[in-house]
Amino acid sequence: MNKEKKIKIFLGSAYILIVSIFLWFFFSKFSFQDFSSYELIRDNRDTLEQVKNSNIFISSILFLLGTIIWVLLLGFGSPVFLVGGFIFGKWLGTLIIVFGLSIGATFLYMFANYFLKDLIEDKFSSRFNNLTEKFKENEFTFFLIYRFIGGIPFFISNILPTIFNVKIRNFFLGSVIGMTPQLFAGASLGAGLNKILEENSEAPSLLQLLLTPDIYLPIIGIITLVLIGFLLRKKFYSK
């Protein structure tokens, strides 16, 4: 085994160890009940509002860095766009989330491209052979479509493009543009939840939530994007 391969194995193992320690620490401190308690969320909302309003620039930078680290360590972005919209609103929240997730995803892609490329090709190349030629034809356009339609777990979607040798610039720009629609819808939902917490001292019923424009409009947007993605996905992944 050559020296370069040993270094790759060591760094890859160190990454897995760091992720495992982070997960253990996170779930030893927090339970799912912590995130489902209306009173706890409402109380923390007030604290977050105070922190944000004390210095919104610093708060935005810290959340951006936290998002990047979150993607690198856990690889998924679902809670982030809700939290970002919840804290910063749909416009600023979307901006921070889009760049945070895109930068984190790009770093993860670079890591996978260097340390995990052979493993990824062994596991996935046979299943996505039909996409290789498409990416060769117009890499940026097809990666943009790939980002928009989704349908693959976020972690996998970040490392899978190593098979297609996507350029780092195209990966980053395609992520920023391609993920913006669904992230805006998610951030809008988070902002809607914040507004409901501000207006209600007690937890509203599910029906009340669903009948609130700040909730049902983002949900309709998300469903629409999912349906469009589903239709495009059938064509995109067709052989």
Collect all residues with Cβ–Cβ distance below 8 Å to 37 and sequence separation of at least 6.
none
For the segment 22-61, what is each residue's pLDDT rounded down to a tens digit?
Answer: 666 655 665 545 544 455 566 677 777 887 888 899 999 9
Q: Is the pLDDT of residue 228 over 60?
A: yes
Instruction: Over range 85-97, report the average pLDDT.
Output: 91
pLDDT at site 109: 93
CA–centroid distance for 221 within its chain: 17
Whole-Å CA distances, 70 to 5, 14, 111, 159, 177: 27, 17, 15, 16, 20
Q: What is the pTM of this model?
A: 0.80
Which DSSP category does 35 fall into? Answer: G
Q: What is the pLDDT of residues 171-187, one digit of tens each?
A: 999 999 999 998 998 88
Please check whether residue 191 is in contact with residue 85, taking contact to mean a CB–CB distance below 8 angstroms. yes
Q: Encode 107-133: b = buried (16+ Cβ within 10 Å), e = exposed.
A: bbbebbbebbeeebeeeeeeebeebee
Using the Cα atoms of residue 117, residue 123, residue 126 and residue 130 in order, give the sign of their dihedral.
Answer: negative
Q: How high is the mean pLDDT of the chain?
A: 79
The structural domains of the chain, with segments of one domain joined by +, span 31-236
Q: What is the DSSP letter of 2?
A: -
pLDDT tens-digit map of 100-127: 999 999 999 998 888 888 778 887 777 7
Query: Which residues does 230 contact at the CB level (< 8 Å), separation at least 6?
Result: 149, 151
In this predicted structure, the answer to whether residue 167 has a pLDDT above a threshold of 80 is: yes
